[in-house]
A and B are shown apart, each in its own frame.
Chain A
Amino acid sequence: MFDIKDLYQEVIVDHNRSPRNFRVIADADKTMEGFNPLCGDKLKLYIKIDGQNISDIAFDGTGCAISVASASLMTDAMKGKSIDEAETLFNNFHSLITTENEIDSDHLGKLAVLAGVKGFPARVKCASLCWHTLRSALIGDDKPVTTE
């Protein structure tokens, strides 16, 4: 049994209430939409790329607290990262929310607050939607992302 506070930690509630980087970048180099048809979560990512680095990243859309907080935390974490670093972070975050075993989450910084999602399997997709969208924008096939 999981305490609901394991999922809705203060950082998550705060990022849901006032999401960071919640804006449109009009001259974005890449944009990508993500959609969860089961619950209707929709988000759009805007990315500025300078050489191999993400110089700016923002998002807008609608979704549950988990998906909004996750996008807010992810965009915060991605600023200034190289595309390779983004890929590593993607893999680490994915392990954080899906693997049974405790993993070393020090290098994930604030993103580690989403670890509670793994106690609520129905919500893993909410937390990972923005990440799959980012990955598709950076290395994917330019098709909108859907969780189904």
Chain B
Amino acid sequence: MNKKSNAAQQQNQSLGFDVKKIRNDFPILHQIINGKPLIYLDNAATSQKPKNVLDAIEKYYREYNSNIHRGVHTLSENATEAYELARLKIKNFINTRSNKEVIFVRGATEAINLVAQSFGRNSLNENDEIIITELEHHANIVPWQLLREQTGATLKFIPINDNGELIIEEYEKLLSKNTKIVAVGHISNALGTINPIKTIIDMAHEYGAKVLIDGAQATSHTSVDVQKLDCDFYAFSGHKVFAPTGVGVLYGKQALLEEMPPYQGGGDMIKMVTMMETQYNDLPYKFEAGTPNISGTIGLGAAIDYVNEIGLENISQYENELLGYANQLASEITGLKFIGTAKQKTSILSFTLKGIHPHDIGTILNNEGIAIRTGHHCAMPVMERFKIPATSRASFAFYNTHEEIDALIKAIDKCKKVFN
């Protein structure tokens, strides 16, 4: 064992964080890709699923698969109970006042569209303004562009500086009594920047604007308390927080949700239907038309249990350590440029390599068993801001190790050898 990996192994244990044990909880990590052990560094795209999540989904389908909120039979009662238990777990996870404020949706994208259409479309007109940021994922841009087309409202952007941080002074200038909605990502998926959302929320509220936080990148790295934040809406996806795809959460303040009309019509969101009219169901069911992703929701509940067991404090401390280690090694690579150097950031290493296109880096790394994301990360305005077509992005989770970062650095060196 060389000196470096010795040091790496010591660091893996330095925080009393047993990565080896944690890795055993994730079956997918133990496989060979292109002749090399898989090194999964694409966690910002989607996270892997621990055994307890996989087991919870399988148990549902093997033992009590049935529709919820309907049958009087035992399976349906069990399914309903498990589904509602997941809601309760979310309530505690992000500290909502009531479980009526936890709406299950397909993912953060659907949550944002729901707010744009149900809240925005019914309350905005051509004199109103929506503020988003230059850092956003397309999921927090396009729904507002659609709303702009539907209502004639104006869409404005908070710019970022060269480190990839929002310029709060510019935000202050954009705010006015016409501002109705401010929609901001909690953490940037392309750069890892942690935005000062508490400040942003408080400033918006001074003008009476409502604030939506896109938390897709946040809930797997940092604890969220929607009451402390005082945001009006908070959206996140299950699959980024170790749960299955196809399930996510919209938190909304109850008073706002009560006022909002349903987003979709169908079963489960009604109290009574005649051919002439429908009486809508109470919260949260008013926004949950149709049979939901029951197994995914139960899986999300199990994922929250898993995260709670390890502890978000421990997770973020370990991930920060990983990021620091990666930054230090990467900064020694000639020609490597960090994209996104915010003071407050999560474990995302976005970079360019002089003379080598990210797509080629992605292929060469994949041949070494290393999965990273290359491209614009669904954040084309960010790429435009930095005048680059794409970046390579390694994003770390708490099941990654210092040795894996050593392998990443070695593989980046290999890219340079292929092209020189």
Contact = CB atoms under 8 A, between A and B. Distances in A.
A26 interface: no
Contact of B357 (A13, A65, A120): A65
A139 interface: no
A64 B357 contact: yes
A120 B376 contact: no
B360 A40 contact: no
Contact of B376 (A5, A40, A122): A40
Contacts of B35: 1
Contact of A4 (B355, B367, B383, B389): B367
A17 B419 CA distance: 8
Contacts of A137: none
A126 B389 CA distance: 15
Nearest to B36: A1
B359 interface: yes
Give the size category of B's interface with A. 20 to 34
A7 interface: yes
Interface residues of A, number: 24
B363 A120 contact: yes
A40 B390 contact: yes
Given A13-B419, A39-B374, A39-B390, A1 B34 contact: yes
Nearest to A61: B389
A126 B360 CA distance: 10
Contact of B360 (A1, A2, A5, A65): A65
Contacts of B357: 63-65, 68
Interface string B393-420: 0000000000000000000001000110
A123 interface: yes
A88 interface: no
Contacts of B364: 4, 8
Contacts of A86: none
Contacts of B360: 8, 64-66
B367 A2 contact: yes
Contact of A7 (B34, B356, B358, B363): B363
Given A8-B418, A40-B389, A126 B359 contact: yes
A127 B360 CA distance: 12
A44 interface: no
B375 interface: yes
B375 A123 contact: no
Contact of A8 (B358, B383, B419): B419
A39 B380 CA distance: 11
A65 B374 CA distance: 14
Interface in B342-396: 355-360, 363-364, 367, 374-376, 380, 383, 389-390
B389 A62 contact: yes
Contacts of B375: 38-40
Contacts of A65: 356-357, 360, 419
Contacts of B374: 39
A83 B374 CA distance: 36
A132 interface: no
A4 B34 CA distance: 11
Contact of A42 (B34, B367, B389, B419): B389
A65 B419 CA distance: 9
Contacts of A38: 375
Contact of B383 (A5, A13, A40): A40
Contacts of B355: 17
Contact of A123 (B363, B414, B419): B363
A13 B359 contact: no
Given A39-B374, A40-B389, A62-B389, A4 B418 contact: yes
Interface in A34-81: 38-42, 62-66, 68
Nearest to B365: A4
Nearest to A38: B375
A123 B366 CA distance: 12
B31 to A, nearest CB: 14
A68 B375 CA distance: 16
A120 B359 CA distance: 12
A68 B360 CA distance: 11
Contacts of B389: 39-42, 62-63
A13 B418 contact: yes
Interface string B52-81: 000000000000000000000000000000
B183 to A, nearest CB: 24
B35 to A, nearest CB: 5
Interface in B142-161: none
Among B35, B380, B383, B390, the one with the most A-chain Cβ atoms within 10 Å of its Cβ is: B390
B381 to A, nearest CB: 13
B359 A39 contact: yes
Given A2-B367, A17-B355, 4 more contacts: A2-B34, A8-B364, A40-B389, A122-B363
22 contacts: A1-B34, A1-B35, A2-B367, A4-B363, A4-B367, A13-B418, A17-B355, A39-B374, A39-B390, A40-B375, A40-B376, A40-B383, A40-B389, A41-B359, A42-B389, A63-B389, A64-B358, A65-B357, A65-B419, A123-B359, A123-B363, A126-B359
* 4 nearest A-B pairs in the assembled complex, by CB-CB distance: A64-B359, A64-B357, A40-B389, A65-B360
